[in-house]
Amino acid sequence: MKLKNYICGQWVEGSGKGQILYNAVNGSEIATLSSEGINLDECLQYARQKGGPALRKMTFQERGRMIKALAIHLTEIKAKYYPLSYKTGATKTDSWIDIDGGIGTLFAYSSLRRKLPNQTFCTDGDLAPLSKGNTFIGHHILTPKKGVAIHINAFNFPVWGMLEKISVNLLAGVPAIVKPASISSYLAEAVFRDIISSGILPEGSLQLICGSARDLLNYVNFQDVVTFTGSASTGKVLRSHPRILEESVPLNMETDSLNCSVLGRDAKPGTADFDIFIKEVHREMTAKCGQKCTAIRRVIVPEEYLQDVQISLGQRLQKTVIGDPHLEEVRMGALAGITQLNEVKEKVAVLSKYSSIAYGDLDTVHALGDNTKGGAFMSPILMINEKPFENILTHEVEAFGPVSTIMPYKNLSDAIQISQLGKGSLVSSIITSDKYIASEFVSEAGSHHGRILILNEKCAKESTGHGSPMPLLVHGGPGRAGGGEEMGGLRGIKHYMQRTAIQGSPDMITAVTQQFQAGSEVKESDVHLFRKHFEELEVGDQWITAKHTVTETDITNFANLSGDHFYAHMDVTSLEGTIFTGRVAHGYYILSKAAGMFVDAKKGPVLLNYGLDECRFIKPVYPGATIGVRLTVKEKIDQEKRTEEDVAKGIVKWHVDVYDETGESVAIANILTMVKKKIDA
């Protein structure tokens, strides 16, 4: 079988014999692949001219629903990918992380549409007032780049690596070219085929290159984004590519790093936290046969616990069944191929010059299964480096397999310094129930790690673990780890969007952003805005309420109702030395009274109060002051129906401006209501 490339809307075979791909479990030939003969410049042009415009026309809501539909589609057929995944050497659990984890990321990013407007772009951050009279203001907006996301992925997670990246660029509105690592590309290609055949994505929004990327980077420009996951050495080559430098092309790198896990001194042998530590290190050594960019390579423990850790880990490793991933009892499969196996052995040989092997044998491994003779199996290797400040190879050389090194520390300061000797990692973890130890480690070690897991008995059962990046948190790290970041919730889409500062009058900024800005023109309505359906409301529509004069009785009644008897509201004799000149109305009374003034009580399109985003009490309100409310439509956020029976609706964000008899604002807030649509679409 020869894998094909999906290029310019067609499945195309590369020319020549191509590279042979092998089954990691038994060494049999699976497929060949090649990208020779393909015009990669045309691929980029096709994405820019076909896929980009189609995605940019879609709103965030539409893109989010598209990603959700894709996630549902892949969920329905995901079982077909497991047999292929086993050929990469992955166990059932490893495959679940890769396949279900990748689909889960699609779901996570599709749900983020609810935090975004029903527009093709979004604002970023807060309004910037630029003039005394508020006639000149500024804001930031994010618009999709008019280029292509080029994803050069690693071999260890062919499904998750692809899906977690495209979920972000698709939500941002940018097409992608996916270049999976060759050795496991047969699994990525199978999933990709189903993505394309589903017809869910616009044509041109995704393309696939199986084989070498060849001269692809020669044709990138400043609107493109290149992402890379893999070795630090390859990352350096990409970073220095002439075209990347000439065009200032963003390069988001996530490279293998020497991640560490620290055992807190309070987690003594025999405690639950000690057992959790042993279990976590064992899992990170054996999951995916240690072929994880987040795997624990350095095990940092108090010097007095070193022997206990060595014995406990050795006993747990001894019970690990290695072999054919098809077998239920197998807990560790094979490396991705013989080439990877040889590379790991070479690195262990280098490390063993200064660190002793406490468990495992490079030349002996028992692999369970009848058909494992030609497979890339190896024993887990646990090493000891008793002088981590002197024998620094442990902090420089990574064996990308089931290999970890234990090293001792004298005090927490030493542990922090040892963790930093890796010169930047994707993740570190500390197992402790001591709040001081946790706080000190995070504050002092945080500069060198992209993520820190604080693990103990209280969260262990629900923790996703040291090695699991999460869609809503950043994945990446400084220094050796590449200096990039992926995912991170809404932070992720910003890598594929251009942040632009816009300046102008409040009217113009309102028109551009489709968010009401204070000081812009309003359209006062003759009909109460709560009587209008979602489609009938427009940004800038305003309702002016009747007025109310605040009395001391109002203040006393609210105090009795709320239980808030703060002295400034109730005791005029206690105001000396304060900023108040008399009994002051509760801020929440002002806000509550404002709601009573602007709400239309009769049943209508407004279904419910959805929440309060912002609230500020600007000026004290004393008895005798007369307040009124300016209620303005600030923003509209469309919502899709979840079921056929669901009510068609949207969220309206209102700007509530409470002012006094002088015309000055005394309180401002943004409230949200759920508003029914006129047409049950």
- Residues serving a catalytic function are 254, 293
Beta strands 497-504 and 137-144 are antiparallel
d(CA 77, CA 65): 19
Contact 8, 46 (CB under 8 A): yes
Q: Which residue has the tokens 């949207």?
A: 650
d(CA 80, CA 89): 16
247, two tokens: 């065009």
Cross-strand pairs, 660: none
Q: Is the dihedral of CA 655, 658, 661, 666 positive or negative?
A: negative
Q: CA dist 256 to 352, 422, 480, Å? A: 20, 11, 8
d(CA 660, CA 619): 9
Beta strands 149-152 and 225-230 are parallel
Total residues found in the chain within this entry:
681
Choose among 211, 257, 234: nearest CA to 16: 211
Name every residue whose Cβ is closer than 8 Å to that of residue 11 and which is 6 or more positions away in sequence: 4, 5
Q: How far apart are the first and last CA of the chain?
A: 47
Residue 494 amino acid letter: K
Name every residue whose Cβ is closer than 8 Å to that of residue 72 and which is 6 or more positions away in sequence: none
319, two tokens: 């019970």
Contact 168, 67 (CB under 8 A): no
Give the 3-state DSSP-derived string for 284-337, with helices as H, strands as E and coil as C: HHHHHHHCCCCCEEEEEEEHHHHHHHHHHHHHHHHCCCEECCCCCCCCECCCCC
Choose among 201, 163, 207: nearest CA to 62: 201
Name every residue whose Cβ is closer than 8 Å to that of residue 345 and which is 6 or more positions away in sequence: 362, 378
Name every residue whose Cβ is closer than 8 Å to that of residue 397 and which is 6 or more positions away in sequence: 347, 350, 351
d(CA 510, CA 521): 9
Choose among 408, 280, 399: nearest CA to 341: 399
